[in-house]
Structure 1
Amino acid sequence: MRDRLNSTYTDEEIERCYGEFYEDVHTEFLKFGEIINFKVCINGAPHLRGNVYVQYRALESALVAHQSINGRYFAGKQLSCDFINVTRWKVAICGECVKSRYKQTCSRGRTCNFIHCFRNPGGDYEWADSDRPPPK
């Protein structure tokens, strides 16, 4: 993972920083309703890098989140929110990435157009990657 982001950071530092980011951003999105998936891209391709995907149980929650978050600033950058049509996460997320337990190993490297994502702390939402229902 280190080569993908910046060779000056260790994997442990990247994981710690992502954990802090996750806590801040995930907590903010939880204010709008029940989340059933939360992914942050680590892809090298500019059109995917840094994308955050939040899937809510209810459309109303997604609408309120969009109205509240779109245009706000986070870490000095203005956020731009869009609705996307991902109906199956298993097809959208790189299978090689999932098989490696999110170690970011993929034979396509930086040119992969499937989502490579950080592993959420505690494995949050990993069940959704296989299009399974949430645990009860």
Structure 2
Amino acid sequence: MPGKSKRPWRKELKKQRRRRRRRKAAVARDLRVEEDEASKLKDPAYQLWLQQQSQLEEEQLRAAEKRHAEEEETWLRRDLLAQREFRLKQQQREAAEAAERAKRKQQAEELAAKEAEQRRRREERERSEAAAAAEFEQMLQCTERFLNTDGPAPAELRRVVESRPGQNLCILYDRTNCCRFGPSCANNHRRPLLSNIIVVRHFFMHPLLEQEEHKEYANADGGLELSEQDLREAYVEFFDDVIPELQGFGYLRNFRTVRNVLRHLRGHVFVEYLEERSALKAFIKLQGRFYAGRQLNVEFSSIENWRGAICGT
């Protein structure tokens, strides 16, 4: 077995020899490279090539540095632009939020002012309604005392109501107690709270008085045409029907009816009583009643001259 004990040693020896040969070959190769490099360095063409390579590397390095600087400058500019846009958007957002807050504040103030105004108007209306109710109650009490006593009318019932105080008087209303514009008239309408004359508006109506609005009456056939005799007969029937009712409130001094065809004049009936107390009774009893399918509208009148007041009696 002595041969087997020598084999590991021989393998290790061969391995070391191979290592030494490789190291020696590497040294020789490096030496040859150095010699070749030294010989190349002596060659002017190679030196020129090295210089060119060195210059090329320097140019590449400068180009890379320049490109890096440009990229960095571009990045900085982009960053500055992004920051500027961010600040601008932030300012716009803050301005929009401030505008929205101001708008909400203004809306809240307007709403509060509107509610305050509505509350003020409601309170004013309630005060006005309360005052009107109190005045109406006082008027009712005055009316009751006046109707149940024999004395003169109290001062509260002697007042004159004006539609537009301070404005010019409506001449037509002052003369006839009628106006084509009614409550919308720009002038002042004055009427008494108590008088011995009442006016029942559109009390007497007849087709002949409405022919200006209903042309079929004027264009009717001869056998159907209305005449003055028809109007007179209708008025006599109307007179005989209402006079007993009106006389039940007191002694009548005058009973006059307007036959004018204008809308704001036709059919008005003026009833003049001898006493104001009788006129007040008629006013209370007739107001709101129905006659011939129409609800009666009664007012006190201040007619002084019948000739100038009644147009077309």
Alignment TM-score, normalising by the size of structure 2: 0.29
The offset of 1:4, in angstroms, is 4.8
Aligned residue runs from structure 1 range 84-99, under 5 A: 84-93=301-310
2:248 is matched with which residue: 13, 28, 31?
Answer: 31
Q: Does 1:116 align with 2:312?
A: yes
Gaps of 5+ in 2: 1-206, 212-217, 219-224
Alignment partners' CA distance in 2, 1:80 and 1:92: 19
Q: Deviations over 1:7-38 (max 9, x none)?
A: 42122121111100011112211111111110
Q: Report the 3-state secondary structure (helix = DSSP H, G, I; strand = E; otherwise coil) of the residue aligned with 1:54.
A: strand
Q: Deviations over 1:19-75 (max 9, x none)?
A: 000111122111111111101111111111111100001000000000000100000
Show the counterpart of 1:10.
Answer: 227
Alignment partners' CA distance in 2, 1:49 and 1:24: 19
The offset of 1:90, in angstroms, is 2.4
CA gap of 1:64–1:116, structure 2 versus 1, over 3 A, is same
Alignment partners' CA distance in 2, 1:42 and 1:68: 25
1:47 is matched with which residue: 264, 268, 275?
Answer: 264
Higher helix content, 1 or 2: 2
- How many aligned positions are there? 95
Q: Report the 3-state secondary structure (helix = DSSP H, G, I; strand = E; otherwise coil) of the residue aligned with 2:301.
A: coil
- Could you tell me whether the CA contact under 8 Å between 2:208 and 2:226 is conserved in 1? no
The offset of 1:87, in angstroms, is 1.4
Show the counterpart of 1:66.
Answer: 283
Percent of aligned pairs with the same amino acid: 34
Q: Deviations over 1:93-135 (max 9, x none)?
A: 3xxxxxxxxxxxxxxxxxxxxx211xxxxxxxxxxxxxxxxxx
Q: Which has the higher contact order (CA 8 A, sep 6+)?
A: 1
Q: Report the 3-state secondary structure (helix = DSSP H, G, I; strand = E; otherwise coil) of the residue aligned with 1:82.
A: strand
Q: Report the 3-state secondary structure (helix = DSSP H, G, I; strand = E; otherwise coil) of the residue aligned with 2:299.
A: coil
Alignment partners' CA distance in 1, 2:236 and 2:271: 16
Alignment partners' CA distance in 2, 1:22 and 1:16: 10
CA gap of 1:49–1:3, structure 2 versus 1, over 3 A, is closer
Alignment partners' CA distance in 1, 2:275 and 2:229: 35
Show the counterpart of 2:239.
Answer: 22
Deviating runs (4+, > 3 A) in structure 1?
2-7
Alignment root-mean-square deviation, CA: 1.7
Show the counterpart of 1:75.
Answer: 292
Whichever residue aligns with residue 116 of structure 1, its letter is: G
